[in-house]
Amino acid sequence: MNNISHNLHAKVHHWIDAIGFRLNASQTNRKSNVTINHYFFETFNFFEKAKRNHPESTKFLCFDTYGETINVRSLLDLQVAFFENISQLK
């Protein structure tokens, strides 16, 4: 199971680099070693919550076009939310 999560982390980072997402903000809680990164592209935002040295426990959260939260369980979840959001731009 850890291998699946690690693969998700790697796939998401490869995809966001290819699309051209920018890191907007990064906050680290030194006690719990948890870092929250905020990425954006145009009007699309998503968050990554990662524990230092444990990429398999990374969690991603994004928002659909109506502002509802979407837990990302696969790269496809993130891509669908992204392309729906971008398609709303005129």
pTM above the 0.85 mark?
no
Find out whether 21 and 79 touch, Cβ atoms under 8 Å: no
Whether 59 and 73 have beta carbons less than 8 Å apart is answered as no
Q: Determine the pLDDT at residue 2.
A: 47
Domain edges within the chain: 2-87
Running along the chain, 90 residues long, what does each successive block of 10 average in pLDDT?
64 92 93 92 89 82 80 88 82
